[in-house]
Structure 1
Amino acid sequence: LQVLLELFQEDLEGTGKKPVLFVMCDTVRNADRVGAYLENERGFKDKVLVIHTYQRAAGGFDVGDVKRDELPQIRKAAKEIDTNQYQIIVSVMMLKEGWDVKNVCAIVPLRAYQSQILVEQTLGRGLRRMFPQAEELEEKLIVVEHPSFKELWQAEIRDGELGISVSSVGTAYQPSNKIAVDESKLEYDLELPLVRGGITRVAPDLSQLNVADLPREVFTYADVPIPSPRYIEKDLLTQEITAERDVDFGYTDRYDEYLSHMTKAVLYRVGSASQFAALLPLVKAYIERYLFDVRVDVTQPDVVAKLNHLYVRNRIKDVFVDALSKLSTVEADYRVVKRYRLSDTKPVHTSRPVFAARKTVFDCLPYPKNSTYERSFMVYLDDQAEVLAYTKILSRFPLRIPYYDKDGILRHYRPDFVVKTEAGHYLIETKGTGFEEMASVALKDRAAVHWCRHVSELTGQTWSFVKILQEEFEQLKYLGFEEMARNVASREVG
Structure 2
Amino acid sequence: MALHKDFPHSPHAILDPAIRWFPADEALRETSMDKLMPPLVSQLRRKVKAFRDSGYVGATRTSQSLLNWWFKEPHLLPQADGTTAEFQYFFAQREALETIIYLYDVVGVKDKFDLMRFDSSGSVSASLFDETWRRFVVKMATGSGKTKVMSLALAWSFFHKLYEADSELARNFLVIAPNIIVLDRVYKDFQGLRIFFDDPVILDNGFDGQNWRDDFQLTLHLQDDVRVTHRIGNIFLTNIHRVYAGEDIPPSPDDDNTMDYFLGKRPSGATTDSKVDLGMIVRDLDELMILNDEAHHIHDARLAWFQSIQDIHHRLLQKGGSLSLQLDVTATPKHNNGAIFVQTVADYPLVEAIWQNVVKHPVLPDAASRAKFCERQSSKYTEKYADYIDLGVIEWRKAYEEHRKLNKKAILFVMTDDTKNCDEVAAYLEGHYPELKGAVLVIHTKNNGEISEASTGKAKEELEQLRKQANEIDTLASPYKVIVSVLMLKEGWDVRNVTTIVGLRAYSAKSNILPEQTLGRGLRKMYVGCVEEYVSVIGTDAFMEFVESIQAEGVVLERKAMGKGTEPKTPLVIEIDHNNTQKNIEALDIEIPVLAPRVYRAYKHLNDLNTGTMIFQPVVYQPFSEEEQREIIFKDITTGEITHTTVLDTAGIADYRSVIGYFTQTVMKELRLVSGYDVLYGKIKIFIRDVLFAQTVDLQSPNTLRNLSELAATKTVIEAFKKAINALTVQTRGDAAIRDSIKLRQTRPFVVKDQGYLMPKKSVFNRVIGDSHFELEFASFLENCSDVVSFAKNYLAVHFKLDYVNAAGDITNYYPDFLVKLPSNRVVVVETKGQQDLDVPLKMQRLRQWCEDINVLQANVNYDYIYVDELAFKQYAPKSFADLLAGFREYKNG
- Report the TM-score range of the alignment, normalised by the length of the smaller protein: 0.7 to 0.9
Gaps of 5+ in 1: 158-164, 230-240
User: CA offsets, 1:264-322, max 9 Å, x none?
Assistant: 11111011255434432332222112211111112221111110011211211112222
Asked if 1:366 corresponds to 2:765, the answer is no
TM-score by length of 1: 0.73
Asked if 1:218 corresponds to 2:621, the answer is no
CA contact (8 A) 2:499 2:522 kept: no
Which residue identity is paired with 1:5? Answer: W
1:196-235 maps to which residues of 2 (within 5 A)?
196-201=596-601, 203=603, 205-215=605-615, 218-222=618-622
2:758 pairs, out of 334, 355, 363, with: 355
Asked if 1:2 corresponds to 2:2, the answer is no
Which residue identity is paired with 1:8? Answer: A
2:533 pairs, out of 110, 120, 140, with: 140
SS in 2 for 1:296: coil
CA contact (8 A) 1:188 1:359 kept: yes
SS in 2 for 1:429: strand
Determine the structure 1 residue equivalent to 2:792: 391
Determine the structure 2 residue equivalent to 1:85: 479
Asked if 1:252 corresponds to 2:646, the answer is yes
- The Cα shift of 1:225 comes to 11
- The Cα shift of 1:220 comes to 3.0
Determine the structure 2 residue equivalent to 1:471: 871
User: CA offsets, 1:326-372, max 9 Å, x none?
Assistant: 4443434422222333333455555444434333344x43133862x
1:116-131 maps to which residues of 2 (within 5 A)?
125-126=524-525, 128-129=527-528
Which residue identity is paired with 1:315? Answer: T
- The Cα shift of 1:198 comes to 0.6
CA contact (8 A) 2:522 2:535 kept: no
Which residue identity is paired with 1:489? Answer: R
TM-score by length of 2: 0.43
Matched residues in 2 for 1:277 and 1:123: separation? 49
- The Cα shift of 1:466 comes to 0.9
When structure 1 is superposed on structure 2, of 265-274 and 338-347 the one drifting more is: 338-347
- The Cα shift of 1:13 comes to 4.5
When structure 1 is superposed on structure 2, of 450-459 and 196-205 the one drifting more is: 196-205
Asked if 1:448 corresponds to 2:847, the answer is yes
Determine the structure 2 residue equivalent to 1:400: 801
Matched residues in 2 for 1:50 and 1:204: separation? 60
Asked if 1:305 corresponds to 2:699, the answer is no
Which residue identity is paired with 2:740? Answer: K
CA contact (8 A) 1:405 1:443 kept: yes
Residues 1:358 and 1:312: Cα distance change in structure 2 (over 3 Å): same
Matched residues in 1 for 2:794 and 2:476: separation? 26
Residues 1:307 and 1:140: Cα distance change in structure 2 (over 3 Å): same
- The Cα shift of 1:392 comes to 2.6
User: CA offsets, 1:198-235, max 9 Å, x none?
Assistant: 11346455333343444477223249999979xxxxxx
Matched residues in 1 for 2:693 and 2:743: separation? 57
1:59-458 maps to which residues of 2 (within 5 A)?
65-67=462-464, 77=472, 81-88=475-482, 94=492, 103=497, 105=499, 125-126=524-525, 128-129=527-528, 138-142=531-535, 144=537, 147-148=545-546, 150=548, 155=553, 165-168=556-559, 170=561, 173-175=568-570, 176=572, 179=575, 180-181=577-578, 182=580, 184-185=583-584, 186-201=586-601, 203=603, 205-215=605-615, 218-222=618-622, 246=635, 247-253=641-647, 254-332=655-733, 333-347=735-749, 351-362=754-765, 364-368=766-770, 371=773, 373-422=774-823, 424-431=826-833, 435-458=834-857
CA contact (8 A) 1:202 1:329 kept: yes
SS in 2 for 1:411: strand
- The Cα shift of 1:436 comes to 1.4
- The Cα shift of 1:248 comes to 3.5
- The Cα shift of 1:35 comes to 9.0
Residues 1:216 and 1:480: Cα distance change in structure 2 (over 3 Å): closer
SS in 2 for 1:468: strand
- The Cα shift of 1:21 comes to 5.1
Asked if 1:18 corresponds to 2:420, the answer is no
User: CA offsets, 1:227-271, max 9 Å, x none?
Assistant: 979xxxxxxxxxxx9996752412325423322322211111011
CA contact (8 A) 1:365 1:392 kept: no
Matched residues in 2 for 1:257 and 1:290: separation? 19
SS in 2 for 1:293: coil
SS in 2 for 1:250: strand
Residues 1:445 and 1:67: Cα distance change in structure 2 (over 3 Å): same
Which residue identity is paired with 1:12? Answer: H
User: CA offsets, 1:138-173, max 9 Å, x none?
Assistant: 34132749654656566456xxxxxxx412475695
Matched residues in 1 for 2:459 and 2:628: separation? 62
Matched residues in 2 for 1:301 and 1:449: separation? 53
Matched residues in 1 for 2:621 and 2:679: separation? 27
Residues 1:205 and 1:123: Cα distance change in structure 2 (over 3 Å): farther
Report the identity percentage. 17
More strand by share: 1
Matched residues in 2 for 1:123 and 1:407: separation? 45
> What do you get for the CA RMSD once the two structures are aligned?
4.7
- The Cα shift of 1:19 comes to 2.7
Residues 1:76 and 1:430: Cα distance change in structure 2 (over 3 Å): same
Larger-gyration structure (1/2): 2
Residues 1:287 and 1:261: Cα distance change in structure 2 (over 3 Å): same
- The Cα shift of 1:427 comes to 0.7
Matched residues in 2 for 1:127 and 1:226: separation? 55
- The Cα shift of 1:323 comes to 2.8
Residues 1:204 and 1:67: Cα distance change in structure 2 (over 3 Å): farther
CA contact (8 A) 1:105 1:126 kept: no
When structure 1 is superposed on structure 2, of 320-329 and 32-41 the one drifting more is: 32-41
Gaps of 5+ in 2: 1-391, 431-435, 538-542, 636-640, 648-654
When structure 1 is superposed on structure 2, of 438-447 and 388-397 the one drifting more is: 438-447
Tell which has more relative contact order, 1 or 2 (C-alpha 8 A, sep 6+).
Answer: 1
Matched residues in 2 for 1:143 and 1:493: separation? 54
Matched residues in 2 for 1:166 and 1:289: separation? 65
SS in 2 for 1:299: coil
